[in-house]
């Protein structure tokens, strides 16, 4: 159920080297696992011109 609500990935728009979020948009990281003490890895892939 959590995966259906939140999803495993996120696409962020970048314009002129800056995050292109709207006025009320923000990036939020959620920890929904009961084993919150383990390490996590964030993978960032940049594509474009």
Q: Residue 36's pLDDT is what?
A: 65
Q: Tell me the per-residue pLDDT of 26-42, one tens digit each, with 9 for 90 and over.
A: 888 777 777 767 787 88
Helix (H) or strand (E) holding 41: none
Q: Tell me the per-residue pLDDT of 3-18, one tens digit each, with 9 for 90 and over.
A: 777 777 778 888 888 8
For residue 20, pLDDT over 70 is answered with yes
The reported pTM is: 0.49
In the block, tokens 């474009």 appear at: 48
Instruction: From 22, 9, 11, 7, select the one nearest 46 (Cα to Cα).
Output: 11
């Amino acid at each position: 159920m959590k995966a259906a609500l939140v999803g495993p990935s996120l696409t962020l728009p970048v314009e002129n080297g800056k995050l292109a979020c709207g006025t009320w948009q923000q990036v939020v990281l959620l920890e929904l696992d009961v084993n919150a003490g383990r390490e996590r890895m964030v993978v960032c892939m940049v594509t474009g011109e």
